[in-house]
Structure 1
């Protein structure tokens, strides 16, 4: 994978990560795997920094998804059980 190909992939992920949510049809694990597939040894320092920001954004989404699962369901009256 060339520097330009890596840069295009990072740019694509930056666009997508600005749009995804925990409710999307594509699971967050798919995007985690896309990040993992990039060849870390070939990255330029600016690309590493961009990937670090993407990783942080994805971690925040993953934590948000975990919090949604951990919250107790609301009763139909809108109160907790």
Structure 2
């Protein structure tokens, strides 16, 4: 799996068609932020494309999708799953 596939998975998670390209740049920015956060939280790089990690990345991108100025908040479900992946 690679980032292009992850972009497609994020589009699905956000309810967009995979064929839509207008939002790719924004998704890629949020995708990089989520992956960086996961790596910083202790997720080994070799697990970043596992099935569980893909689900966490999609959830994290969705959490960041509707940001308002001054608000950055990942859901508790995101943090719970992230902890499981980092510890496993």
Q: What TM-score do the two structures reach when normalised by structure 1?
A: 0.34
